[in-house]
Structure 1
Amino acid sequence: MNNEEIIAHIKLAINPKFQDWVLFKNGTYIIFDDITTVKDVKDEALKLMKEFGPVFAGSSAGDFNTIHLHLTEGWLVSGHGYGMYTYVHPSELDNEIPDDLEIGLYGRSKRNLDGQNPEIIHINSQYSV
């Protein structure tokens, strides 16, 4: 999937009341409650991703929940770190009927990639940033 396709899926996955978010290369995004209070959105998103993105086995960073989406294909994987989610599209998994554990582990691995090498590909805001 290209960046535009990922962005389209995430726009459908996010509650419409949240308009301010930053998307990273591997599908992890961070929602900001009030982006106007953030001095530099890129710096803050990178800081949060470096802090909460990497996965450490046996820590809260390894915990996750799988959220089944209704308005688009795929799932969101949440973990520690407020407002941080990772989008997983069905085409990314080998199993046609994956269970929550498989989806969650895959999403967590994508979040880890974003945490290890954070690269912002999109900033969505209801305000100009």
Structure 2
Amino acid sequence: MRESELIENVKLAINPKFQDWVLFKNGTYIIFDDISKVKNTNDEAIAIMKEFGPVFAGGPAGDFNTIHLTKTEGWIVAGHGYGMYTFVSPDELENKSPNDLEVGLFGRSKRDLDGKKPEIIYVNKSK
């Protein structure tokens, strides 16, 4: 998926009331409740990603919840880390009718990649 497609899909996936968020290369994003209290958005997002993104066997980062989207095709995988979610597109999966476990495991692996090598590709800020 191209970066521009990922950004557009994530915009459709996020509840419009949340305007402050940061998107990472592999589809994980962090929503900020009040970005005005954050000195440096990028630094804060990377610190959160490094803390909560990587997945370790038996750790809380292994838990997840799969959310089916209605405004775009795909899913959001929620898990350990407040306000941290990962977008999964149907195009990324080999199985064309995956179950929640398959989607969740794939999303968790994407979050792990973002946690180990955090690269911000987009920042959305409210006015």
What TM bracket, shorter-length normalisation?
over 0.9
Q: Deviations over 1:6-47 (max 9, x none)?
A: 010011100000000000000000000111010000000000
After superposition, where does 1:97-112 map in structure 2 within 5 Å? 97-112=97-112
Deviation at 1:77, TM superposition (A): 0.2
Give structure 2 stretches of 5+ with no counterpart: none
Q: Which residue of 2 aligns with 1:95?
A: 95
Aligned residues: 127
Deviation at 1:120, TM superposition (A): 0.3
**Structure 2 CA distance for aligned equivalents of residues 60 and 45 of structure 1:** 19
Deviation >4 Å, runs of 4+: none
**Structure 1 CA distance for aligned equivalents of residues 82 and 126 of structure 2:** 20
**Matched-pair identity in %:** 70
Q: Is residue 13 of structure 1 aligned with residue 13 of structure 2?
A: yes
Deviation at 1:59, TM superposition (A): 1.1
Q: Is residue 23 of structure 1 aligned with residue 23 of structure 2?
A: yes
After superposition, where does 1:1-129 map in structure 2 within 5 Å? 1-127=1-127
Deviation at 1:102, TM superposition (A): 0.2
**Structure 1 CA distance for aligned equivalents of residues 68 and 108 of structure 2:** 15
Give the CA RMSD over aligned residues: 0.5
- Matched residue SS, 2:22: strand
Deviation at 1:57, TM superposition (A): 1.1
Q: Deviations over 1:42-91 (max 9, x none)?
A: 00000000000000111111000000000000000001100000000000
Per the normalisation by structure 2, the TM-score is 0.99
